[in-house]
Amino acid sequence: MSKALNLYEREHFTRCLQCAICSGSCPTARVVDRYNPRELVLRYILDGDEDVLSEMDTLWCCTTCQVCRERCPHGINISGLLTHMMNLSALKGNIPPVLRSSIMMMIETGRPIQSNSRSERIRGELGLKPLTKPDTKEIREILLDAGLGKILDIQ
Ligand code: SF4
Ligand code: SF4
């Protein structure tokens, strides 16, 4: 069994019925082909090896919305384990390119997505104030303190 289970109450996972309510309730699974949270977690638990995470190309599709956890008849923290699996994968440098770009953008500009004239116009129509410039120095320090410097090879 995977050592990831040490972080959670082990008996929770052994109570899994394989009923697939988690996968059937997952909004991501409805739109992403081959995404199945129950199968991802089961494969990781049975395999017990972190290397298997790099082969899970759909792992990062989880939005951590918590629906699976709320709907599970045994209250199993499946979204928590998926988050843990993503963190372990990131520590080994396995971060999808699009997410890597967003993090780099955040470090450089303070935002993962840039605003533009259209988004500013919509903000105005909604009665929202124009965005202020973020404190990029502070954001950079937070991200580097979180260990992203080593993972992304930046200083
Ligand atoms: S909903 Fe809960 S019990 Fe059912 S398969 Fe998912 S984790 Fe297991
Ligand atoms: S937390 Fe992830 S796996 Fe669970 S329902 Fe949301 S997207 Fe699906």
- The b-or-e profile of 122-145 (16+ CB within 10 A means b, else e) is eeeeeeeeeeeeeeeeebbeebee
Dihedral of CA atoms 10, 12, 13, 17 in degrees, nearest 10, equals 150
pLDDT grade, residue 6 (50/70/90)?
low
Atom of ligand 1 at shortest range from CA of 71 = 1
Q: Residue 51 has what pLDDT?
A: 80
- C-beta 81 within 6 A of ligand 1: no
Q: Residue 4 has what pLDDT?
A: 55
Compare 40 and 8 and report the one with higher pLDDT.
Answer: 40
Q: Residue 69 has what pLDDT?
A: 93
Does residue 116 surpass a pLDDT of 70?
Answer: yes
- The model's pLDDT over 124-154, given as tens digits with 9 standing for 90+, comes to 999 999 888 889 999 999 988 888 888 887 7
Q: Residue 96 C-alpha to ligand 1 middle, in angstroms?
A: 27
Q: Residue 24 C-alpha to ligand 1 middle, in angstroms?
A: 10
- The model's pLDDT over 47-100, given as tens digits with 9 standing for 90+, comes to 767 788 888 889 999 999 999 999 999 888 889 889 888 888 888 888 889 888
Structure tokens at 93: 């440098």
User: Which ligand places an atom closest to the C-alpha of 80?
Assistant: 2
What share of residues in the chain are helix, strand, coil (percent, to 5)?
Answer: 60, 0, 40
Predicted structure pTM score: 0.79
pLDDT grade, residue 8 (50/70/90)?
low
